[in-house]
Every structure is written in structure tokens, then in C-alpha cells.
Amino acid sequence: MFYHAAPAGRARIIKGHPFAGRMERVVISLGGSIINPEERDGEFLNQLSSLLRKFAQDHEIYVVCGGGKIARYYINTGRELNASEDQLDELGIGATRLNARLLQLALGNVAEGTIPHTIEEAAEQGRKGIIVVMGGTTPGHTTDGVSAALAERVGAARIVNATAVDGVYSDDPWKVKDAKKIHHMTFQQLLDMLGDGHGAGRSGVFDPMGADIALRCRIPVLVIAGRDLEEMSQAIRGGPIKGTIIDG
């Protein structure tokens, strides 16, 4: 017996389904800028939800939402108020959960009505056969790190890092005009890149804690433009993509 996320209804149990016991698990690290871009865009969240519902028929889907500009607003304001780093992280986590709740609302009855606060709670929700949507967990890292820890916990086939840029670049593409997109790189190359002192402002790169976990568990990370839903479909399936594949 196992659970199947029904496209138009709450998760239901289907006995003897051909995918029983071997549904691929995919964790999506959904950047905050994808959920709340400059202009309000509920239509995009509806389209993304339709796509996720479709994939949930034969995949276990876990989405970890970033905080984006809402997190930055609270963190920057909290810093002016002399809050501690842990308190600022708590504000950021609150923003990620607010974004997660918005996506949950768009998903309707194929997602739970509560946000898991821990990796264990997320894994528990995943066992119900619904789409799991969460934000941050504890202070000290970002939602990329949460995505990698969750991917390790549930044995995910891949992590899709859906960001504002369409892959990893040789330099910050917002600042360097002829920055080149890197189509394939190893985790070691990513860690070297993050460690070379240029990582902080580099958009679209997975965070160091997440990269460490993904390297240890050999879970590929696919970095894609999160608002390109065709690219999102390809990445959930495992490629080919226009973005960057990090593995090895």
C-alpha cells in the first residue's frame, strides 16, 4: 500500500500502483525571488503549482522556499535595531515560512496545511504522499542547506536549485558583462569557487553547507532559472537543462 498525490484531491492511497516503493524523490530549493519577484504574481504560483501537481503523480516532491526580499527587509531592519545574528536569522526563517505558506495555499489540497519546522517533520509529511513545502529550520544557514539536509534524509535523486539566474557563472553575471555560464561542474569545483573569496555576492550558487552535504551524499544539484517552467520540468525529470549540473 502506498500514497498517491491525486491531481484534483487530497492524497489518496492506491494499492498495487506500478510506482509503489520506487517513486523518485526530488527536492526543490525555490529561491525567494522566484516566489516574490518585484511585481506581485499569483498567476506564476498557480502555474508552478499545476506543474508540481503533475509531477507529484509519479515523484515525491519536496519544496524548500527561500525568503527573498521579505527576508532581506526584516533582516536589514532588525540589524538597525541591533538584533543579534540569531535573532536576525529567526526573522529570515519567518520570511521563508511565509513564502512557503503562500505556495502551500496555491497547491491547495495536494499540500499539508502546516509548514514543517524540522527535516524530520518534512520527511514525515512526505510519507503521506503529499507535496511537502517548508522554509528554514534553525539559525545559522540558508534554505539551500536545508534542501541538502532534507535531500540526504529522504534519499533524493537530485536537488533542483531554482534561482534568479539561469545557472552558475564564471563571475557574477549581474556585475560582469562577459561572465560565462558553466554547464557542468564538480562539487569540488563549486566548493573551490565558494572558497575563493568571491562567493558572497555570487548569485545563483548553492550555499557552502548545502554543497558539503551534496558532495558527501553524491546528490546532483541542478541550478536553473526558477521562473522558466519548461526548464523546471526538465530539471525535475533530471535533465537535459540549459542551466548548470553540479555532480561528481
Out of 36, 104, 125, 142, the residue judged to bind ligand UTP by CB under 6 A: 142
Of the pair 66, 126, the CB lying nearest ligand UTP is at 66
Q: Does 234 bind ligand UTP (CB under 6 A)?
A: no
Q: How far is the CB of 84 from ligand UTP (least distance, A)?
A: 12
Q: Does 141 bind ligand UTP (CB under 6 A)?
A: yes
CA gap 192, 172 in Å, rounded: 15
* Angle formed by the axes of helices 208-217 and 143-154, nearest 10°: 20
Q: Is 131 exposed, middle or buried (0-12, 13-18, 19+ CB in 10 A)?
A: buried
CA gap 83, 69 in Å, rounded: 19
Q: Does 96 bind ligand UTP (CB under 6 A)?
A: yes
CB distance 126 to 62 below 8 Å: yes
Q: Does 132 bind ligand UTP (CB under 6 A)?
A: no
Of the pair 56, 190, the CB lying nearest ligand UTP is at 190
Q: Does 137 bind ligand UTP (CB under 6 A)?
A: yes
Q: Does 139 bind ligand UTP (CB under 6 A)?
A: yes
- Which phi-psi region, left, alpha or beta, contains residue 35 (left: φ > 0; alpha: ψ -120 to 50)? alpha
Which residues 18-37 are close enough to bind ligand UTP by CB under 6 A?
31-33
Of the pair 3, 206, the CB lying nearest ligand UTP is at 206
Q: Does 146 bind ligand UTP (CB under 6 A)?
A: yes
List, in order, residues 6 or more apart from 7 with CB less than 8 Å away.
53, 54, 56, 57, 110
Map residue 159 onto helix, strand or coil.
Answer: strand
From 89-97, 125-133, 225-233, 238-246, give the range in contact with ligand UTP by CB under 6 A. Answer: 89-97
The count of chain residues that interact with ligand UTP, using the rule CB under 6 A, is: 22
Counts for the chain of helices (H) and strands (E), in that order: 9, 11
Which positions lie near ligand UTP, rule CB under 6 A? 31-33, 66-68, 71, 88-89, 92-93, 96, 136-144, 146
